Structure 1
Amino acid sequence: MILVDVVEPVRTVIELGNSFLIWLGGGGVVVATACGFISKAVADRSIESHKSELSAELERLKGELAMEGESHKLKLRKAELLFDRQVQAASAFIPISHKLRPEYRFADMDWHDASVEVAQRSGEVERELTQFELSHGAALSPKARGLLSSSITSATHNKFEGDAMEPSDQATKAGSDLLEKIIALEEQLIADLRD
């Protein structure tokens, strides 16, 4: 019986210990479950907050991209229209250029003879170039516009001196310069289309 008396309290202590451990374990499960639930709720709230920030940023970037796309489309359209006008200007100037250049009239006609003829027709050259400038000036590149303006100025200054049957050496030199400018302008208009 002594053994029973010793075993009984030990059994009771072991059962109490087991109960306590089960209670702690069950409480641990409850605490772990509660912690898991709370951490999931906090994480979900944080994720939703971050998700809404990212969505707002995404919408802002989409808006900026759409605006840039529209701006780029507009620039392309303007460039297309300008190029079309440049093609029209070059196409219109080539016949004018050939009309203003003297025809090859006799076998030993040289640059001097052509310069004299251009000097004599300075008034006509001025009118043709001015009309071209009024029709197509806005579509020309700065370099082409400079050549055209310089040509008109040369023709204007030379039209009174070059009207004579035999223009002066100065008028002939101005006619030569004017002829060179007309040729250079045609070349520049074509070069502008190639760039």
Structure 2
Amino acid sequence: GYAIFLPDIRFEIGHPGKSTTQTMINATQRLIDLGIADPAKIGLQGHSWAGYQSAFMITQTDMFKAVVSGAPVSNMTSAYSGIRLKSGLARQFQYETGQSRIGKNLFEAPELYIENSPVFFADKVNTPILIMFGDKDDAVPWHEGVQYYLALRRAGKDATFLQYEGEPHHLKKFPNQVDFSVRMMQYFDHYLKGKPAAKWMTEGEPFVEE
């Protein structure tokens, strides 16, 4: 019952968040116009860079009715001077010249780092979001997910956080891969198809039993 759309984003250097949002709004509206998508039942899912894009877009638009965001950067000002634990590389290069597409360092353009950081606009979010992270993420500091989750909850938003113990940037353990796939389906089924919420969505599950 789901149609899957994989977009091709056109970026403007310095404004990756806003250019992502505009591209996705245009593309999604086209799917609606073609009769492929129901405007009241559109979900959004991404991981890593696409996880960031998904996390940012809901600060700018209410077009999407539920979002699953895996391993997103939520605060470019804090992630900028982190390191990629697997390679040991500083993360600064990817904002200045790489994937994150800011095009300047933090000292030259702090306003761009803030503009493109979803954590600073958590109070604007009206879309339920499920954030997923492995707590041994070797590419994105996993506290980036914690920051966004706590900001959303502080703002009274509908946010759920899945933490996978001992997992890196992409889930490696097969049971966890299955678990996340099932939970993501349950999440979208509830918010997009009106099915009853799974118990873990309404009551939560502790990280460690006390």
TM-score (norm 2): 0.21
The structure with higher relative contact order (CA 8 Å, sep 6+) is: 1
TM-score between both structures, scaled by the size of structure 1: 0.22
Which structure: larger Rg? Answer: 1
User: Is the helix fraction higher in 1 or 2?
Assistant: 1
Task: Considering fraction of residues, name the structure with more strand.
Answer: 2
